[in-house]
Amino acid sequence: MSRTGTAETNYLNAQHGLKSWLLTLDHKRIGLLYLMGVSFFFLLGGIFALLIRLELLTPQGDLVQPDTYNRLFSMHGIMMVFFFLIPAIPGVLGNFLIPIMIGTRDVAFPRLNLASWYIFMAGGSITLLGVLAGGVDTGWTFYPPYSSLYSATNVLTVGIGVFVNGFSSILTGLNFMVTIHRMRAPGMTWFRLPLFVWGHYATSFINVLGTPVIAITLLLLVLERAFHLGIFDATKGGDPVLFQHLFWFYSHPAVYIMILPSMAVISELIAAFTRKRVFGYHFVAFSSIGIAVLGFLVWGHHMFVSGQSVYAGTAFSLLTMLVAIPSAIKVFNWSFTLYQGSVSFDTPMLYALGFIGLFMIGGLTGVFLGTLGFDIHVHDTYFVVAHFHYVMVGGTIMGYLGGLHYWWPKITGRTYPEFWGRMSAMLVFVGFNLTFFPQFLLGYMGMPRRYHAYPEEWQVLNVLSTAGASVLGLGFLLPLGYLLWSLKYGKLAGKNPWGAKGLEWTTDSPPPTENFRDAPVVSEEAYDYAGAGHGDGGAPAPARAH
């Protein structure tokens, strides 16, 4: 990996040795450190998922004990949500790209950036310790009084692990906000920013404002469990539903922490593989902000059947409906970007198109669930499981993998085998739908989530789901293989293998430590493929043959 074919030094070969990585202040190297961290936790969470699906192959609950099963789905959720979905795109792609995209040398606080990674790894390690000591069986939602008084598992260790990890999100969010505000290259105005940066800017706000709430909530839970304070204990005058309010006040916006960076990636991919400015740039940018703001006002839809008053439920239902609007605006704008584009079907674009399909279904079923009268029946069933996997896996992982493929030549200087890339995109799309679509049907038929055993009439759909999960697993393993292979054997990528716009494609692949040999000055709009200046309906396309 040290020889890249160019005589110049780059961020990978500028320094050598383990210490140069563990003490690096280079945002690009820190991005790669995150890549290793999140990949490990993803693999772990994936193994738990595999065991869950194997158990559900038969109705009886005969592969593992109920206790074990409960730990499996809890650890699957905790690993995937807190240590993969939340940090993956900002940690890996955000860190690597934001400074380059805005034309600067590094993030505003490089030491803080490295500290974020160490905090992330510390939180992950503490959680892992809890896993090795026997795991936790509360579900990733930690609802008391089960978690505070009844569970005999490692709630304290895992709770502290997740608590610690939260500070990593807060510090990364802070770092990105300051970087985007203060470090933009000359000429890089707010409305010349790539939409990737807008998406991460919105995400950073949620991280900074929302994550402290989950930190406080988990701290209260830890204190409640250790010292029996009574905050969530009804026998002491406390209220278990209070925990749910606090938990979802963060954890619903957390869904947007996962999906906004993915949407940010999708905007880049659609622009690059249509060679066209993203349709309705301002609307796409502000819809990210809209989602971030509205996302804080909808937490109560997780409690429609929790004994919350019907009036509160009605208000939260209405607000939930509104959060669908900025998402719809994004989908329509992306789709319309293809109109008069120059559309190519490289691997990242296949992931992006797959994202649109899966996110449509995930988003629309979110409207279903926001509909009060519908939610009561499917609340806490597999319908909900299917919905949030469509949003979080179909949304976030499609964006993450699409982005990883798109910027892989920039990150490593090498290209991967295109055939296998397309195969993986298709396997993931097909496998994903086969895994999760049957779960919508199971949920409507009444299968509750977190069930270790289930009535026999639901076996066929469960077998389909497990079959889909195997295809999905293969789709995830393929990139692991060929991306590692490409590090040594991949063709040299050159500066701009996709013919894409954006400052990151003007520098070397891999970039030098200081990102640019000459500090860039920006004089054009983002995605100015048509050469129309500001793209406001200017000259007709010079190259698009009709």
Partner 1 sequence: MPFKIPFMPEQASSMAGEVDALTLYLVAMASFFTVLVAAMVIYFAIRYRRRSPDEVGGSFDNSALLEITWTVIPVLIVLFTFVWGARVAFRLYRPPADAVQYYVTGKQWMWKTQHPTGQREINELHVPLGQPVKLLMTSEDVIHSFFVPAFRVKADVLPGRYTSLWFTPTKTGRFHLFCAEYCGAEHSRMIGWVTVMEPEEYQAWLASVPTQGSPTAAGERLFAQLACHTCHQDAAGAKGPALGGLYGRPVALADGRTVLADESYLRESILNPAAKVVAGYEAVMPSFQGQVSEEGILELINYVKSLPAGGSASVAAASEGAL
Distance CA 479, CA 152 (A): 39
Q: Which of 47, 209, 328, 430 binds partner 1 (CB under 8 A)?
A: 328
* Of 25-33, 98-106, 300-308, 488-496: span binding partner 1 (CB under 8 A): 300-308
Nearer to partner 1, 97 or 378 (CB): 378
Q: Does 376 bind partner 1 (CB under 8 A)?
A: yes
* One residue of 223, 312, 318, 519 binding partner 1 per CB under 8 A: 318
Distance in Å, CB of 211 to partner 1, minimum: 24
**Closer CB to partner 1, 342 or 470, in the complex:** 342
Find the part of the chain contacting partner 1 (CB under 8 A) among 34-42, 146-154, 251-259, 474-482: 146-154
Q: Hey, CA dihedral for 450, 456, 457, 459, is it positive or negative?
A: positive
Q: Any bridge partners for residue 448, and if so which?
A: 381
CA dist., res. 179 & res. 193, Å (int):
13
Site for partner 1 in 409-468 (CB under 8 A): 441, 444-446, 448-455
Please report, as residue ranges, which positions from 79 to 138 form the binding site for partner 1 (by CB under 8 A): 137
Listed in sequence order, the residues at least 6 apart from 156 whose beta carbon sits closer than 8 Å to its beta carbon are 222, 225, 226
Q: Which residue has the tokens 């919105």?
A: 202
Q: Shortest approach of partner 1 to residue 372 CB, angstroms? A: 4
Burial class (CB in 10 A: 0-12, 13-18, 19+), 537: exposed
Q: Which range binds partner 1 by CB under 8 A, 279-287, 388-396, 408-416, 469-477? A: 279-287
For the CB of residue 375, give the shortest distance to partner 1 in the complex, in Å: 8
Which residues fall within 8 angstroms of residue 447, CB to CB, at 6 or more apart? Answer: 381, 382, 454, 458
Q: Binding of partner 1 at residue 524 (CB under 8 A)?
A: no
490 or 535: whose CB is closer to partner 1? 535
Q: Which stretch binds partner 1 (CB under 8 A): 254-262, 275-283, 394-402, 417-425?
A: 275-283
Residue 422 CB: number of other CB atoms within 10 A?
17
CB of 169 to partner 1, least distance (A): 26
Q: Smallest gap, in angstroms, from Cβ of residue 193 to partner 1?
A: 16
| Least separation in angstroms between CB 360 and partner 1 | 5
Q: Dihedral sign for Cα 180, 79, 296, 337, please.
A: positive
Shortest gap between Cβ of 426 and partner 1 (angstroms)?
Answer: 15
| 500 Cβ contact list (under 8 Å, min separation 6) | 271, 272, 275
Contact 232, 199 (CB under 8 A): no
| Least distance in angstroms from the C-beta of 510 to partner 1 | 24
Please, what is the angle between helix 310-337 and helix 347-370, to 10°?
Answer: 160
- Is residue 253 within 8 A of residue 295, CB to CB? The reply is yes
* One character per residue 43-72, x = contact with partner 1 (rule: CB under 8 A): ------------------x----xx--x--
Backbone φ and ψ of 414, nearest 5°: -125, 155
Residue 15 within binding range of partner 1, rule CB under 8 A: no
Q: Which residues pair with 381 in a beta bridge?
A: 448
Q: Binding marks (x or -) toward partner 1, 214..253, rule CB under 8 A?
A: --------------------xx-x--xx------------
Q: Which residues pair with 414 in a beta bridge?
A: 492
Contact between 370 and partner 1 per CB under 8 A: yes
Helix (H, G, I), strand (E, B) or coil at 414: strand
- Residue 506 binds to partner 1 (criterion: CB under 8 A): no
Of 49, 32, 58, residue with least CA distance to 452: 58
- Say whether 381 sits in a helix, a strand or coil: strand
Residue 43 Cβ, how far from partner 1 at the closest point, in Å? 25
Q: Which C-beta is closer to partner 1: that of 169 or that of 365?
A: 365
